[in-house]
């Protein structure tokens, strides 16, 4: 199982706001930045959020990130059909000489 | 515009060595602001970080793969490479190479801040 824990699935209707959680520990999320990736079917992942809550150029402000303690969240407001994708959180983990860890991924369905 | 392209065999026999190369164009692999990384994704499963390398050759890797893994960089060719030995069916995956931004508050640090990805290449381990 993954070091970072995400719900396997989430869903919402167009226009709704959905959140995806990512739970970690003191060795990763609590003391390091969290990153979020969006993976559309059949494509490489795309960086959605960096440094907990920063959006790269071109990412709509409908996407927002937050972090508190050992957990982080990705929020998507004004849900659109094109947001249907897999979402992954990631962080650096300070154990075992340091390594990156991903969440198991959350499959978002737009109903 | 930065482009990353994975290349290597799509089929590897069990117990042999998986070798992939990532060719970088549109940017220098010797940049001091980036690491260069490998990530894989087994069919139908999630992402797994394999490791990062800096242009100087400094590496960080997944503890579960470390004993079988070699990541190297060739700055003269603007390429970096992955070798994973003693492979099994569990190593079957789409392998992505990527650029990893390392700058955090003005200091180059290890992060999973992957700002550019290759298209990925499927490597199947089977006899």
Q: Please report, in tens digits, the pLDDT of each residue of chain B (127 residues total).
A: 999 999 999 999 999 999 999 999 999 999 999 999 999 999 999 999 999 999 999 999 999 999 999 999 999 999 999 999 999 999 999 999 999 999 888 888 889 999 999 999 999 999 9
Q: How far apart are CA B106 and CA B103, in angstroms?
A: 6
Percentage of residues in chain A having pLDDT higher than 90? 98
A12 touches chain B (CB under 8 A): no
CB contact under 8 A, B63 and A101: no
State the average pLDDT over residues A47-62: 97
Of A45, A56, A99, the CB nearest to B63: A99
Subunit contact A44:B118, Cβ cutoff 8 A: yes
pLDDT of amino acid B107: 85
| Tally of CB atoms within 10 A around A69 | 11
Residues A11-37 pLDDT 10s: 999 999 999 999 999 999 999 999 999
CB contact under 8 A, A44 and B120: yes
What pLDDT, on a 0 to 100 scale, did the predictor assign at position A107? 98
> Burial, B25: exposed, middle or buried (Cβ in 10 Å; 0-12, 13-18, 19+)?
exposed
Q: What is the pLDDT of residue B105?
A: 82
Alpha-carbon distance of A109 to B5, in angstroms, equals 31
* DSSP letters spanning A9-60: EEEE-TT--EEEEEE--TTTGGGS-EEEEEE-TTS--EEEEBTTTBPPTT--
Residue A6: Cβ within 10 Å count: 24
Looking at residue B106, its pLDDT comes to 84
Task: Kindly report the nearest CA distance between residue B12 and chain A, in angstroms.
Answer: 22
Task: Report the 10 Å Cβ neighbour count for A21.
Answer: 16
Test the B interface: residue of A100, A101, A102, A106 with most B CBs within 10 Å: A100
Judge whether A60 and A76 are in contact, CB under 8 Å.
no
């Amino acid at each position: 199982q993954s070091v970072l824990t995400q719900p396997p699935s989430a869903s919402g209707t167009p226009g709704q706001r959905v959140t995806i959680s990512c739970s970690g520990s003191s060795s990763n999320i609590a003391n390091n930045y969290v990153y979020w990736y969006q993976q559309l079917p059949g494509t490489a992942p795309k960086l959605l959020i960096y440094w907990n809550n920063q959006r790269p150029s071109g990412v709509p402000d409908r996407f927002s990130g937050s972090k508190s303690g050992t957990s982080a969240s990705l929020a998507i407001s004004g849900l659109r059909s094109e947001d249907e994708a897999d979402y992954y959180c990631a962080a650096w983990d300070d154990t075992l000489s340091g390594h990156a860890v991903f969440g198991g991924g959350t499959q978002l369905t737009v109903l | 515009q930065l482009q990353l392209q994975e290349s290597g065999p799509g089929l590897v026999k069990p117990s042999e060595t998986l070798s992939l190369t990532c060719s970088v164009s549109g940017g220098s692999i010797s940049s001091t602001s980036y690491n260069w990384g490998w990530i894989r994704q087994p069919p139908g499963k999630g992402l797994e970080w394999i490791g990062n390398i800096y242009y100087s050759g400094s590496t960080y890797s997944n503890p579960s793969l470390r004993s079988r893994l070699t990541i190297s960089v060739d700055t003269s060719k603007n390429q970096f490479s992955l070798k994973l030995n003693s492979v099994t069916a569990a190593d079957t995956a789409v392998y992505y190479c990527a650029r990893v931004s390392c700058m955090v508050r003005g200091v180059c640090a290890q992060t999973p801040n992957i700002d550019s990805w290759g298209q990925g290449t499927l490597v199947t381990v089977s006899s």
